[in-house]
């Protein structure tokens, strides 16, 4: 018996094989389909997809045997990978000097008398193992059968490459999910921890202004007002971040039946509107089954934007609703300042701010509308914007009807 030689690029070969993360994995239907087809085409009772590691040949897929692996130093596949470009055929192992006294070919059930194998290589041409067929009696394949087995081997290579890419993508997704969890936890902790000092800062500014306003003079009061404004602005920013990262929790709240007009009235009360404003509800009131908390947050953000980004003496907001198959459709339309066409694609991106200021001269934080999109998406819907500068903006969003 002649033991399989070691390829000159053995270190590179093993590195490539181990990097695939395929050794010792469970059977997969895609690979089993190919070994079944190889057995059928060749007429052989045994078909294997083997991967040759440092000490053994391991079977990713097997037909006609229950053995999971064998030692590399007695393997037929160890010889086959030495000439990866060729189909290796042993018509009768007892007449081949390499295998005539091989323990796999003698004195055992299903001893190998015929072997035909095509080497499997990666994209760089490095041999990994074989697709092989085996018979317990001498045999021979015709030219068409060998051609078909070579084609199947190419499909195995494609499967292995696709499997590896899917593995890398899944790992990247999991790493990203883990990172996002840490980021959410960090954002939550930092935001909560910052809200109290900010509230104290705003309160202290008011106290100083009231008690010592005469002593610090007009310029000192101006600085205190700026300090208070900055504190309130940062507090709003933190609240926006918390709302964004907690929006997934809102999407999991149970569905309930609500009166649409009652919901809208509650939202208007929460906003505490001081401006001259006309808000028109949908003409027809309906009861709908929705996630109230999530819908309330969506409408709060959109109506609040219609109030803030409006330069008209009288603000007009029209709220619309209709039902279509499987969906509820809501609209929030205003007579505000509008959004430039080229900026409308950016408006739903987190932390993306536009070149506009609100009614009080403040810049947005780029959180509210990204929260809206996230909530709408979690509710199975979509959101879009239609806007014209100085004429107004219309948001349309859908959510799945339940």
Would residue 245 count as lying in a domain?
Answer: no
pLDDT of residue 236: 62
pLDDT, average across residues 200-220: 80
Give the residue-averaged pLDDT of 342-369: 66
Of 137, 169, 201, the position where a domain reaches its end is 169
Looking at the structure, do residues 14 and 120 belong to the same domain, yes or no?
yes
Q: Nearest-CA neighbor of 224 among 253, 246, 204, 199?
A: 204
| 262 and 151 within one domain | no
Give the C-alpha separation, 201 to 199, whole Å: 5
Same domain, 270 and 383: yes
Residue 351 confidence (pLDDT) above 60 = no
pLDDT in tens, 126-164: 999 999 999 999 999 999 999 999 999 999 999 999 999
Of 169, 202, 220, which one is at a domain's C-terminal end? 169
331 found inside a domain:
yes
Pairwise CA distance, residues 372 & 9, whole Å: 56
pLDDT tens across 109-136, in order? 789 999 999 999 999 999 999 999 999 9
In a domain, 374, yes or no: yes
Q: Tell me, what CATH number does 31's domain have?
A: 3.30.450.40
In a domain? residue 176: no
Checking if the pLDDT of 235 tops 70, the result is no
Where are the strands (E) in 64-203, listed by range?
69-71, 87-90, 114-121, 127-135
Q: The domain that contains 382 carries what CATH number? A: 3.30.565.10
Q: Which residue has the higher pLDDT, 210 or 327?
A: 327
Q: CB-side exposure of 172: number of CA atoms within 13 Å?
A: 6
**Is pLDDT at 200 greater than 80 in this prediction?**
no
223/220 Cα distance (integer angstroms): 5
Domain that holds residue 260: 253-400
The distance from CA 32 to its chain's CA centroid, rounded to whole angstroms, is 29
Across the chain, mean pLDDT equals 86
Q: How many domains does the chain contain in total?
A: 2
pLDDT value at position 191?
60
How far apart CA 88 and CA 77 sit, in angstroms, is 9
The answer to whether residue 104 is domain-embedded is yes
């Amino acid at each position: 018996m002649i033991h399989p030689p070691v390829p000159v690029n053995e270190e590179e070969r093993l590195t490539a094989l181990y990097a695939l993360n395929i050794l010792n994995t469970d059977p997969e239907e895609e690979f089993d389909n190919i070994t079944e087809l190889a057995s059928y085409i060749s007429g052989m009772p045994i078909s294997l997809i083997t991967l040759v590691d440092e000490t053994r040949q391991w079977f990713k897929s097997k037909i006609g045997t229950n053995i999971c692996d064998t030692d590399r130093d007695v393997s037929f596949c160890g010889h086959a990978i030495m000439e990866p470009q060729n189909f290796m055929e042993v018509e009768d192992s007892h007449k081949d000097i390499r295998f005539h006294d091989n323990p796999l070919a003698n004195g055992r059930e299903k001893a190998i008398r015929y072997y035909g194998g095509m080497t499997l290589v990666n994209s760089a041409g490095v041999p990994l193992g074989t697709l092989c067929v085996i018979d317990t009696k001498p045999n021979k394949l015709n030219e068409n059968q060998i051609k078909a087995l070579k084609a199947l081997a190419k499909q195995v290579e494609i499967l292995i490459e696709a499997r590896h890419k899917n593995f890398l993508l899944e790992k990247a997704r999991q790493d990203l999910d883990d990172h996002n969890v840490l980021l959410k936890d960090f954002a939550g902790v930092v935001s909560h921890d910052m809200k109290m000092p900010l509230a104290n800062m705003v309160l202290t500014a008011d106290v100083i202004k009231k008690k010592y306003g005469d002593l610090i003079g007009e310029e000192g009061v101006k600085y205190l007002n700026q300090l208070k404004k900055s504190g309130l602005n940062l507090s709003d920013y933190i609240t926006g971040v918390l709302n964004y990262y907690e929006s997934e929790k809102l999407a999991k709240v149970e569905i309930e039946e609500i009166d649409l007009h009652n919901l809208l009235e509650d939202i208007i009360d929460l906003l505490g509107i001081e401006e001259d404003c006309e808000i028109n509800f949908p003409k027809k009131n309906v009861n709908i089954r929705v996630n109230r908390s999530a819908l309330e947050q969506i409408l709060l953000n959109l109506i609040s934007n219609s109030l803030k980004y409006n330069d008209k003496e009288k603000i007009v907001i029209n709220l619309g609703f209709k039902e279509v198959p499987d969906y509820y459709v809501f609209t929030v339309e205003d007579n505000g300042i509008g959004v430039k066409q080229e900026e409308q694609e950016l408006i739903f991106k987190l932390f993306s701010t536009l070149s506009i200021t609100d009614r009080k001269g403040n810049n947005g934080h780029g959180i509210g509308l990204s929260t809206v999109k996230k909530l709408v998406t979690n509710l199975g819907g979509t959101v879009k914007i239609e806007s014209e500068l100085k004429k107004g903006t219309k948001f349309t969003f859908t959510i799945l009807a339940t």
